[in-house]
Structure 1
Amino acid sequence: MTATPASQHPHRLHRLAMRVAGAAGMLLAGAVLAHTPAPPTPALVQPASTAPLTALSPGATTRAAPAARPATPAQRVQLPGEPGTPALNAYWFVPRGGNAPRTQPLPVVVALHGCGGLLGTRPEPIRVEAAANGGDSPSDAAAALQPRYREYAQWLIERGYAVLMPDSLSAHGRLQGCGDSPEARGMDERLRRADALAALRWVGRQRGIDAARIVLLGWSNGAQAVLATVDASRPWPANIPPVERAVAFYPACKRAVQQHNFRLRAPVLLMIGGADDWTPATRCAMLQSAVLARQPNARFRLEIYPGAYHGFDGTSELQGRRDTPGGGSRPGRGVTVGGDAVARVAAMAQLDSWLASPDP
């Protein structure tokens, strides 16, 4: 190796400071995650930036950087409910097959929005055109969604999943309902579970879909619906495909903790912020302990991200809210919501690895 001239060396004190900072950063990174023990997951090649993670075909353990491509459009479809209940609007994303015909059925993620709803506050206009299955044109229906849900859909599509996002609030309540009680919104756990089952039933009837590889994912109020849906103490309709695995971002675990016969019918990955004062992590830890006491072999993975608040996987700045029912863990004082860059990257890496694992 050719020696570098002395004139090109940084100042010794500067170089020492850089080394100390690097060592401190490594120690901090090692302390980011606090989680419960779980079986080993496949090795993950994690990019250094916070850009979207590399593409993944479900079931694979290696990743290759995705080629730049335009966003996959969504088609707006209707999901029939039980007799006497309104049909749900939903947004259906299917990965583009390129020039080669698709030979393998697609796994699916059914994603359940939080209490703020699926749609943006000022959605772009949607051009309505007839489509083969009775929905809107797939060219621009996704423009109606909140940006974070569009981003999640694209992240999942890059990993080979079709994605269905049902819109519960438009059918049953208001476009914005976080400030009301679930009873006032008409958005109780029973109703949201029925919506999830309607979405699963619809998915099971689609051609080219692998009904044995369905992931149920939700955020906040939607994550609570995920827990209610995979509760094995409740009957499962015969005409609905099973959930292979479930993902819950910061659910309110209080109701499930109080339900003394709550059990899991599918593996669950639950991710929550350690500082969450809206849906406290302590209740979810209690739920995990209770489930494992009843089902020692249940696969219930709990990831707690220290210092992160409700909505940590988003990109918005931290802010206080006082329009929340019950005031979270501090009645009368409001709650804190907002993104956490470190927790977001860690959670997406965990989700990526967990979805790819053949045995979560």
Structure 2
Amino acid sequence: MRLPLAALFLTLLMSAAHASPAPQQVDIPLSSGVLHAQLYKPEGEGPFPTVIALHGCGGLGAHSDPVLPRYRDWAERLLKAGNAVLLPDSYGSRELGPQCRVKESHVKARRERVADIAASRAWLMKQAWVARDRISLIGWANGASALLWAVRPQSAARDHGPDFRAAIAFYPDCRISAGLGWSARVPTLVLIGADDDVSSPPACRQMVDGARGRSALARIVVYPGAYHDFDRANTPLHAASASSDATAPERGHLGTDAEARAESQKDVAEWLAR
């Protein structure tokens, strides 16, 4: 029996060594309530570059998992590269479920979610383990739209601390921002699939092109043949309308694009390393 028991112990030990890191819940004060967030932090005292990661309209987590696999995948990737990752839960903190198919959302990208970004930054600026001049933003869909509002010159923090170092927006809805003459005060990268029929690649290109000459560096990468959610692993291409999933938009198509997913991982790493 000794050999099988020894083999079992070794297997369990190896499994534990390769287990996904567990996030820590932190509570961030808001002007009206508390913002719950999940934190992935490297071992050690830091200071660490830190990324605030903003979920889409489906929310951050589920009943059995505080961070959905799509965001956990990115958080672990960023963590492995030496970043701390803070994921604020804009919906769960307000006792709301997915907002993708809600006709009148009470949590607006340009209002409550921008306030959540500001509160997250203020909290991070007080943490000794944070490299205060290397706090960046990354967001998906509705979270990316909130990011676009948060990096506008009008949304600059009133304190004297360093601003965000960089921002990365995955397939935001650029239509309103394009019409308002959007610009950014920090380097901002927009990543979107050419065939995205949930968001609007032409509007995002118009938004970025229109910001040239009156903005911090803004760049767009359009991945040929890719649809919405192209960076989400193991998601066959499908029509959102054919699904009853409340975490999916009501229209358009969603699905992994392996080439665009791999390219976006490189693009994110390079943008954050600037």
Task: State how many pairs are aligned.
Answer: 253
Report how far residue 269 of structure 1 moved: 1.1
Aligned to 1:81: 30
Of 118, 124, 130, which aligns to 1:197? Answer: 118
TM-score, normalising length from structure 2?
Answer: 0.86
Query: Does the aligned pair in 2 maintain the 1:115–1:221 contact within 8 Å?
Result: yes
* 1:205-250 deviation per Cα after TM superposition (whole angstroms, max 9, x unaligned): 1112111000111000000011110001334232765111001000
The normalised TM-score by structure 1 is: 0.66
Correspondence list, 1:240-279, <5 A: 241-260=162-181, 262-279=182-199
Listed one character per residue, the Cα deviations across residues 66-116 of structure 1 (whole Å, up to 9, x for unaligned) are xx743222110111012xx1211100111123xxxx4x5111000000000
RMSD: 2.2
Report the Cα distance in structure 1 between the residues aligned to 2:269 and 2:124, rounded to whole angstroms. 22
Whether the 8 Å CA contact 2:91–2:107 is kept in 1: the answer is: no
Counterpart for residue 230 of structure 2 = 312
Q: Which runs of 5+ in 1 are unaligned?
A: 1-67, 124-142
Question: Retained in 1: the 8 A contact 2:166–2:271?
Answer: no
Checking the alignment, whether the CA contact within 8 Å between 1:213 and 1:244 is kept in structure 2 is yes
Distance 1:271 1:112 in 2: 15
* CA radius of gyration, larger in: 1
Paired letter, 1:202: W
Q: Trace 1:223-302 onto structure 2 (pairs within 5 A).
A: 223-238=144-159, 241-260=162-181, 262-295=182-215, 298-302=216-220
Contact 1:245 1:266 in 2 (8 A): yes
User: Is it true that 1:346 corresponds to 2:268 in the alignment?
Assistant: no
Matched, 1:169 2:91: yes
The structure that is strand-richer by fraction is 2
Q: Percent identity?
A: 35
Which position in structure 2 is the counterpart of 1:336?
A: 253
Whether contact under 8 Å (1:214, 1:244) holds in the other structure is: yes
Correspondence for 1:221: 142
Shift of 1:294: 2.9
For 2:110, give the aligned amino acid: E
- The structure-2 alpha-carbon separation of the partners of 1:87 and 1:350, relative to structure 1 and needing over 3 Å to count, comes to same
Structure-2 separation of matches of 1:72 and 1:287: 37
The alignment partner of 2:212 has SS state of helix
* 1:334 positional shift: 2.5
Matched letter for residue 96 of structure 1: E
**Counterpart of 1:285 in 2: which secondary structure?**
helix
User: SS in structure 1 opposite 2:198?
Assistant: coil
Q: Residues 255-282 of structure 1, C-alpha deviation per residue, up to 9 Å, x if partnerless?
A: 111213x321100111000000011111
Task: Structure 2: state its 5+ residue gaps.
Answer: 1-16
- Cα distance in 1 for residues equivalent to 2:77 and 2:219: 22
Helix, strand or coil for the counterpart of 2:262? helix
Q: Is contact 1:250-1:271 (8 Å) kept? A: yes
Q: Which has the higher contact order (CA 8 A, sep 6+)?
A: 1
Report the residue type matching 1:107 in the other structure. P
Indicate how the Cα distance of structure 1 residues 174 and 257 shifts in structure 2: closer, same or farther if over 3 A, else same: same
